[in-house]
Amino acid sequence: MKLILTTTVLALAVAGSALADAAAGKVVYTANCEKCHATDGAGKPMIAKMLNTTMKPLGSADVKALSDAAMTKDITQGTGKMKPVKITDAQVKDVIAYVRTLK
């Protein structure tokens, strides 16, 4: 019984540490993404114009349909005119969790 309880507690602790934190993601987003993607994720028109590109709103169905793996790749490797963002793996997960809350 003690072994089962210990194993269960350990499994819950590992699972809990792997969960992304949208609140922490907002902090990272504000520091690293907001300057181009805007507070609401709609994208800043002036930045898009300067880069001669369009930005999909991060709350759009197209962006929400992306897998976490695809979003991770876009963040860490860049996409289109977006350069890679230098943040930790945990921060990437947190930012993705935050972006998924945008409307």
DSSP state of 54: -
- Is residue 59 within 8 Å of 102, Cβ to Cβ? yes
CATH number of the domain where residue 29 is located: 1.10.760.10
Residue 80 belongs to some domain of the structure? yes
* Predicted pLDDT of residue 88: 98
Q: 13 lies in a domain?
A: no
CA pair distance 91, 80, nearest whole angstrom: 22
Per-residue pLDDT of 42-63, as tens digits, reads 999 999 999 999 999 999 999 9
Q: Determine the pLDDT at residue 2.
A: 57
In a domain, 10, yes or no: no
For residue 9, being part of any structural domain is answered with: no
Domain that holds residue 69: 21-99
Assign residue 43 a region: left if phi > 0, alpha if psi is -120 to 50, beta otherwise?
left
What integer pLDDT is reported at residue 1 of this predicted model?
55
Any domain includes 73: yes
Share of the chain above pLDDT 70, in %: 83
Structural domain contains residue 3: no
Cross-strand bridge partners of residue 82: 79
Number of domains forming the structure of the chain:
1
Residue 76 falls inside a structural domain: yes
What is the predicted pLDDT for the residue at 49? 96
pLDDT band at 5 (very low <50, low <70, confident <90, very high): very low
In a domain, 7, yes or no: no
Task: Dump pLDDT digits (tens) for 27-37.
Answer: 999 999 999 99
